[in-house]
Amino acid sequence: MSGLPRPADGLSRITIMQGETRVSDDPGVILTTVLGSCISACLFDPVTKVGGLNHFLLAEPGAGETDARSLQRYGVYAMEVLINAMMAMGASRSNLKARIYGGASLRDGFRDIGATNALFARRFLRDERITLVGEDVGGHGARRVEFRPTLGLARCRIAVDRPVERLRAPAIVPRPAAPVGDVEFF
């Protein structure tokens, strides 16, 4: 990923959107993303100085979902794409280290997609024997992540920290009591 224009600090920032994955061996690159309930895995190989970041929306597809474009939003796909892209650039699977970010719970009363995503990411890394060296997941705030892929260094800041939006029950308006002795027909 060389040849990119560099700002005054000499670093090129590449924004990763939902369903995307980027890998780099350029020490002047910073991969960045903003997360709510989504998860980003930052993987790096400290020996070959190759790293990458993905951004996935949901852990795993439902039964029968096979459209390649929709698969990009799932962690099971995003993690394999990231690992394979890193290996194509010379990384060794046995050297990989990981950091995970995101997984916030942004709405109360709904299924906690963020927690499901975080559990998936941890399980995937454990099953693949990739060491998890850091994480910042859960809570109620959106996060901004910046990752230096060749160094394996990440910075995560809460971009928006707000109270959980609660589902509101419809207001029940009490009927005024009928005066004693009166009969009301409807």
Alpha-carbon Rg for the chain in angstroms: 23
Please tell me whether residue 106 adopts helix, strand or coil conformation. Answer: coil
Could you tell me the strand order of the sheet in which 153-161 lies?
Answer: 12-15, 29-35, 141-148, 153-161
Helix (H, G, I), strand (E, B) or coil at 24: strand
3-state secondary structure of 118: helix
38 is catalytic: yes
What CA–CA distance (Å, rounded) separates 117 from 105?
11
The active-site residue out of 38, 96, 121, 125 is: 38
With contact defined as beta carbons under 8 Å apart, do 83 and 119 qualify?
A: no
**Tokens, residue 46:** 């400290």
Helix, strand, or coil here: 84? helix
Residues with a known catalytic role: 38
